[in-house]
Amino acid sequence: MSGIGSEAERRHMETEDLSPQVLTCSLQEGKNDVPEVGVDVLIEEMAMRPYTDSYKVRYEGQTIQMTSLDWRNNWLLIAQIAVGWCIFILFGLGEQTLGTIIPRLQKHYGINDLKTALVFLSATSGYFLMAMLSEICHIKIGYRGVGIMGTGCMVVGYVIAGTGPPFGAFIAAYFFVGIGFGSMGASFNGYLGNLINSAPLLGILHGCYGIGCITTPPLVTALINKKTNPWSVFHYYFVLAGVSGFLSTSVALIFRHETATKYRLTVLLNEARRRVQEANLKCESTESIEAQYPVDDYADKSNELDCREDVAPSNSNEPLVEPEKNTSALKSKLVWSISIIIFVYVSGEAAFGAWLVSFCLKIKHLPYQYSSYMAATFWAGLTTGRMGLGFATEFWFKDAILANTIYIAGSLLGFTVFSIAALFNVSAILFPIVFFLGFFVGPVYPTTIVAIVNILPVKLHASGIGFICAFGGGGGAAAPFLIGLVASSSEQGLRFYPMIVTILYAILIVMWAILVIYTKRMKRKQGST
């Protein structure tokens, strides 16, 4: 699912009061009292209502409760946001666990870096599977069903891993974990992207991932190194399984109204809202031209139809347009371009966090606990950046595209400085450098999601953003696998790991610059037509 624009854009959107007989916030119970979409009320009429309205409609034979998109006056929405944040904390706890225990895992199984990298490859497979099936799953089972499925897969994966199984089964466990991460990542990015104040909400969402990543290295290290009753390298997975099970139950209860039918209706409603926004912006532009030129001159300069006709309801019995199929998104070069950008970004972020402990141990020869604190520092910077700069994106920058350019440039600078500093035998200086680069790396993902709303065509919002999130998330396992290959090439192979991440971000900033140039050309072309 896609976002529906910034709050500033929403304030500009003119709303139209509908007849109380059509929609009302206090309808009496009963099938005949609830208006049916496409018969009693049009999608366009619903789209022109304020985003804070709550009402009921019938769609595909079911009564759907449409609630306010403003968390300030919707307690259920606050609970749903809180569950999403908790799930992303779980993501961080789970993903950084593997990076923290790699040295112990290799000792337990007697494996090298190459075989370790197979675990990341298994998780990537789960991500990519969900990239292909994300939109289909949402259409068939809705946000609630996808949430239960995703957290359920994490329970299965973590229980298998917690038993200390043969290495082949351990690899298979991470396939289920990858499915869980891929489905939930795409789902909650889309769900929160629909809400008012989406930029800071997404910033906090991805900041919660960082909170989990901060917590894991020192916590796991302390549990494994306990003087009395130390934990096995696998016991922590049962904690993750328990948290996953609790969140699965929470999703089932709190998202009970987020059915597949409501999802399909919301896709159509969001597309209609975007058309309303574009029509009102067109009206503002027309009014601005009329104010600058006399009527006769203006008639020569514009041949546009009345902008209000762009969203005016027509025949209420006309069939509704179905959401764009996922296959259409896969045919879009723009969707693939943005997916690759997210993939490269997540690859660098995850690879740096996953192999930082091993790099500090094997190349910098630092103590295990000291190394885990280094990893926690990176995730602390990332979390601070996501939560802090998410608000900066909303209130300080003209648009998310410009903000993201600055964040990517800062990330590249940070990785470059780290690569140079890592060549010297000075460890203390690495802590502020790692925090700095994490601070700028953090907001790139949520800011990209916000920017996508204004880049992708409306018809690709539903299927496109779901695919982008799921496919891009696969980078969280792909680059760590690549670095594992490099690390296994020789005893000093891991020394090249900072340079690999730096190269990834150099590629990222070039790709982003190309995308920015492309979108500017498209806007100029649309403006001239």
Instruction: Give the distance between the most distant pair of CA atoms in the chain.
Output: 89
* pLDDT band (50, 70, 90) for residue 313: very low
Rounded mean pLDDT, 466-478? 74
Q: How far apart are CA 311 and CA 273, in angstroms?
A: 9
How much is the pLDDT for 23? 45
pLDDT in tens, 367-390: 887 888 888 899 889 888 888 776
Q: Is the pLDDT of residue 176 over 90?
A: yes
* pLDDT band (50, 70, 90) for residue 355: confident
DSSP state for residue 71 in the 8-state scheme:
G
Evaluate whether 384 touches 442 at the Cβ level (below 8 Å): yes
Q: How far apart are CA 36 and CA 15, in angstroms?
A: 21
Structure tokens at 98: 């593997």
* pLDDT band (50, 70, 90) for residue 5: very low
Q: Is the pLDDT of residue 326 over 90?
A: no
Angle formed by the axes of helices 400-421 and 497-528, nearest 10°:
160
Q: Is the pLDDT of residue 346 over 80?
A: yes
How much is the pLDDT for 83? 94
Evaluate whether 366 touches 427 at the Cβ level (below 8 Å): yes
How much is the pLDDT for 463? 65
Rounded mean pLDDT, 314-340? 62
How much is the pLDDT for 47? 84
* pLDDT band (50, 70, 90) for residue 13: very low
How much is the pLDDT for 286? 55
Higher pLDDT, 76 or 276: 76
Rounded mean pLDDT, 95-105? 82
How much is the pLDDT for 523? 67
Q: Is 486 helix (H, G, I), strand (E, B) or coil?
A: helix
In sequence order, the 6+-apart residues with CB closer than 8 A to the CB of 36 are 57, 58, 59
How much is the pLDDT for 458? 60
Residue identified by tokens 């916030």 is 25
Put simply, whether the predicted model's pTM sits higher than 0.85 gets the answer no
Query: Which of these ranges, 11-20, 86-95, 236-245, 443-452, has the smallest mean pLDDT?
Result: 11-20
How much is the pLDDT for 528? 55
Angle formed by the axes of helices 444-455 and 167-193, nearest 10°:
50
Residues in the chain: 529
pLDDT in tens, 254-304: 999 999 999 989 888 887 887 777 676 666 555 554 555 454 444 444 444
* pLDDT band (50, 70, 90) for residue 228: confident
How much is the pLDDT for 461? 61
Rounded mean pLDDT, 67-77? 87
* pLDDT band (50, 70, 90) for residue 249: very high
* pLDDT band (50, 70, 90) for residue 29: very low
pLDDT in tens, 79-97: 999 999 999 999 888 887 8
What share of the chain has pLDDT > 70, as a percent? 79
DSSP class per residue in 35-70: PBBTTTB-HHHHHTS-TT--EEEEETTEEEEE--S-
Q: Is the pLDDT of residue 510 over 60?
A: yes
pLDDT in tens, 112-167: 877 887 888 888 888 878 877 877 888 899 999 999 999 999 999 999 999 999 99
Q: How far apart are CA 138 and CA 211, in angstroms?
A: 28
Query: Which of these ranges, 149-153, 222-226, 510-514, has the smallest mean pLDDT?
Result: 222-226
How much is the pLDDT for 153? 94
DSSP class per residue in 419-462: HHHTTSS--TTHHHHHHHHHHHHTTHHHHHHHHHHHHS-GGGHH
Rounded mean pLDDT, 338-360? 87
Higher pLDDT, 110 or 271: 110
Domain at 73-260+332-524, CATH from 1.20.1050.140, 1.25.40.10, 1.20.1250.20, 1.10.1020.10 = 1.20.1250.20
* pLDDT band (50, 70, 90) for residue 491: low
Q: Give CA torsion, residues 12, 17, 18, 19, to 10 deg.
A: 180
How much is the pLDDT for 292? 52
Evaluate whether 312 touches 283 at the Cβ level (below 8 Å): no
| Average pLDDT of every residue of the chain | 78
